[in-house]
């Protein structure tokens, strides 16, 4: 073999060795890549499982849909504003639910909306809730929902099944943070039929006739004042004030005051106060403010002739068949509103809570309106014939006059202004001469559009 041939052979052997080494390296790399791909596939599978679990969790808590009835015993704490007889009427709803859900124990606790709004934000901030289903003001429910404390129930109810606009009160964009329960109305001045018959009184057909009626009642022996003024935290006086604003300013004025488009110092508003409401206060046609449930008893006993109150009064008197009402003759709208319930995100039994919430929004309303609660359903699938008979007549009277159902002014504005409104009206009732100061104070804090 020549030297040239030896060099070529050596180079060939070297290339062969290098080729073998590269082949082995490539095999190792491929095996490593294969292992990495397998690990990556496993990781992706785990991530997919986690995402599916998270999606299911989000679906349950955000945009909740109907949940099946709980198969094992659970306990729900339900917090609402009703006490006394009103609590008994709500208990009828709980009892109806428990008939079909024997595994659910429900404890009802009373807490008024103003207390809910004052106490629960602190608890929510700590990630706890004292109840599983809670009633509260609509504006406050939306506020808590936007802060992330309340379950979005947009998948739980169909908005088209409710009185127009009633669900809007608890919406923020496409999210629904609560459900409407039954609806109350604040239709006018209530009176006993037997009292009017005994003294030859009749419902007024104009403001002048209304004033004449008050003067006649004032002259009846034993009557302290023609109109009983309810009190509490202040809402009974705001209710009757709103009725005057609607009657003599029209339904749109109520809406414009809520939005802030019309100010409380507007000449139209002052005219209603100065020429319709304040003269009646000054002439003592209205009584001094009396705790509102005590006022029911005194008015029913004949110490006062008429009493402005909501429809819940039908369930608070001994004989609702002796009860009737009239709005101010010029009124073309009345305030009406629903109670709203929600599920906090910190509920210990969210599935059961959502199931009960859906019952409240549907069949539970039928049960509540069928007993002397003084409420009508907001759920349109409930028939009028299912209502408690005295409420059937109220419903037909309002519908017969073609009145608009309007939102409550101070409930809609809410916040600190609501309490200011109540306090200023208390001042006006004891000092009618403070009218301009009252209106300026209300306007200064009135929200702007």
* pLDDT tens figures, 398-430: 877 878 889 899 988 988 999 999 999 999 999
| Residue 276 pLDDT | 98
The residues that bridge with 62 in the sheet, in sequence order, are 152
The three-class DSSP label of residue 361 is: helix
Contacts of 353 (CB under 8 A, 6+ apart): 76, 132, 133, 343, 347
What is the tens place of the pLDDT at every residue in 12-49?
Answer: 555 555 555 555 555 454 455 455 555 545 554 554 54
Q: Where are the domains of the chain?
A: 74-185+339-386, 186-336+399-445
User: For 186-336+399-445, CATH number?
Assistant: 3.40.190.10
For residue 416, count CB atoms less than 10 angstroms from its CB and return exposed for 0-12, middle for 13-18, buried for 19 or more.
exposed
Tell me how far apart the alpha carbons of residues 435 and 406 are, in angstroms, rounded to a whole number: 25
Pick the CATH number of 74-185+339-386 from 3.30.540.10, 3.40.50.300, 3.40.190.10, 3.40.50.2300: 3.40.190.10
What is the tens place of the pLDDT at every residue in 190-245?
Answer: 999 999 999 999 999 999 999 999 999 999 999 999 999 998 778 899 999 999 99
Domains 74-185+339-386 and 186-336+399-445 share a fold: yes
Tell me how far apart the alpha carbons of residues 312 and 186 are, in angstroms, rounded to a whole number: 9
The residues that bridge with 290 in the sheet, in sequence order, are 230
What is the enclosing helix (H) or strand (E) of 13?
helix 3-61
How far apart, in Å, are the Cα atoms of 72 and each of 104, 346, 351, 403, 424? Answer: 8, 20, 12, 48, 52
pTM tops 0.75, yes or no: no
Around Cβ 253, how many Cβ atoms within 10 Å? Answer: 22
């Amino acid at each position: 073999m020549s030297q040239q041939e030896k060099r070529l052979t050596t180079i060939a052997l070297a290339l062969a060795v290098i080729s073998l080494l590269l082949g082995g390296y490539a095999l190792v790399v491929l095996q490593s890549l294969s292992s990495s791909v397998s690990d990556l596939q496993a990781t992706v599978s785990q991530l997919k499982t986690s995402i599916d679990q998270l999606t299911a969790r989000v679906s349950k808590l955000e945009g909740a849909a109907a949940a099946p009835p709980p198969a094992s015993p659970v306990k729900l704490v339900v917090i609402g504003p009703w006490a006394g007889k009103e609590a008994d009427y709500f208990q009828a709803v709980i009892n109806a639910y428990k008939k079909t859900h024997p595994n659910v124990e429900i404890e009802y606790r009373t807490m008024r909306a103003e207390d809910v709004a004052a106490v629960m934000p602190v608890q929510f901030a700590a990630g706890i809730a004292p109840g599983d289903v809670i009633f509260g003001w609509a504006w406050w429910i939306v506020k808590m929902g936007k802060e992330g404390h309340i379950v979005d129930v947009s998948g739980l109810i169909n908005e088209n099944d409710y009185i127009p606009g009633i669900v809007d009160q608890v919406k923020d964009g496409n999210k629904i943070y609560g459900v409407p329960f039954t609806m109350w109305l604040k239709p006018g001045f209530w009176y006993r039929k037997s009292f009017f018959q005994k003294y030859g009184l009749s419902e007024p057909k104009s403001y002048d006739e209304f004033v004449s009626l008050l003067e006649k009642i004032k002259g009846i022996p034993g009557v302290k004042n023609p109109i009983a003024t309810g009190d509490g935290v202040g809402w009974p006086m705001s209710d009757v004030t709103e009725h005057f604003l609607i009657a003599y300013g029209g339904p749109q004025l109520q809406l414009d005051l809520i939005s802030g488009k019309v100010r409380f110092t507007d000449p139209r508003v002052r005219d209603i106060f100065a020429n319709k409401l304040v003269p009646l206060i000054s002439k003592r046609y209205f009584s001094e403010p009396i705790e509102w449930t005590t006022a029911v008893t005194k008015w029913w006993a004949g110490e006062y002739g008429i009493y402005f109150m909501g429809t819940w009064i039908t369930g608070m008197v001994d004989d609702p068949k002796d009860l009737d009402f009239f709005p101010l003759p010029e009124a073309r709208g009345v305030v009406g509103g629903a109670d709203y319930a929600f599920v906090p995100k910190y509920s210990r039994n969210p599935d059961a809570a959502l199931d009960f919430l859906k019952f409240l929004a549907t069949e539970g309303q039928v049960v509540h309106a069928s007993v002397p609660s003084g409420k009508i359903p907001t759920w349109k699938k409930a028939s009028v014939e299912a209502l408690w008979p005295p409420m059937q007549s109220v419903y037909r009277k309002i519908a017969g006059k073609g009145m608009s159902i309007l939102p409550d002014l101070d409930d809609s504005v809410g916040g600190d202004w609501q309490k200011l409104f109540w306090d200023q009206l208390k001042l006006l009732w004891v000092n009618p001469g403070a009218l301009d100061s009252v209106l300026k104070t209300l306007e200064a804090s009135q929200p702007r559009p």
